[in-house]
Structure 1
């Protein structure tokens, strides 16, 4: 095992630990944690046994393991982008709803103050 492989495994282990600690407060917490652990295990296996990655790539009709990694990365990036867009849209809708509520409450308070004068 090379120093670079040890460094990569350490970085992945630290990333997985942070992911497990930071992924809280969501309904799908268990799924996120399982995916984080699965990612870490797959990454460590790919680092320790690069020929295994090429073997898996060949099962899918892909010539090299590096190509498989690229394809998986592109797909993961697209999924992440879609999830981010949906999350941002939900947050924007929530902020709009809250702003409307605050504006209506301020208008009601203003009306009551005007009536009291």
Structure 2
């Protein structure tokens, strides 16, 4: 194993650990962890056996393993972009709900204060 392969494997393992530890706790947490571990295992295997990636690419009719890796990276980047956009939309919805609740609460407080000053 070359030094560069060792550095790449260490980087992949570190990224997988960070993904597992820092993921928010929702219902799909276990699935995300499994995919992170599968990705890490596939990355380590691709680093250790680059010719296998070329063989897999040939099976799919792609000339080189690097091209297969590029196509997979593009798909992964698009999936990541979709998940980020969905998360932002959910966050925006939550902020909108909170803003509405605060506005209604402030209106009720003002109404109560006005009623209190009218009775005096």
The reply on whether 1:102 has 2:102 as its aligned counterpart is yes
State how far apart, in whole Å, the 1-side matches of 2:111 and 2:7 are.
65
Q: Which has the larger radius of gyration?
A: 2
TM-score (norm: length of structure 2): 0.94
Structure 1 gaps, min length 5: none
Please state how far the C-alpha of 1:19 moved relative to its aligned partner: 1.4
State how far apart, in whole Å, the 1-side matches of 2:72 and 2:12 are.
17
Question: RMSD value over aligned CA atoms?
Answer: 0.8
TM-score (norm: length of structure 1): 0.96
Could you tell me which residue of structure 1 aligns to residue 70 of structure 2?
Answer: 70
Q: Deviations over 1:1-31 (max 9, x none)?
A: 1110011111111111111111241111110
Could you tell me which residue of structure 2 aligns to residue 27 of structure 1?
Answer: 27
What is the correspondence of 1:1-117 to structure 2 with a 5 Å cutoff?
A: 1-117=1-117
State how far apart, in whole Å, the 2-side matches of 1:10 and 1:79 are.
24
**Off by >6 Å, runs of 4+ in structure 1:** none
State how far apart, in whole Å, the 2-side matches of 1:26 and 1:90 are.
13
Tell me the SS of whatever aligns to 2:25: coil
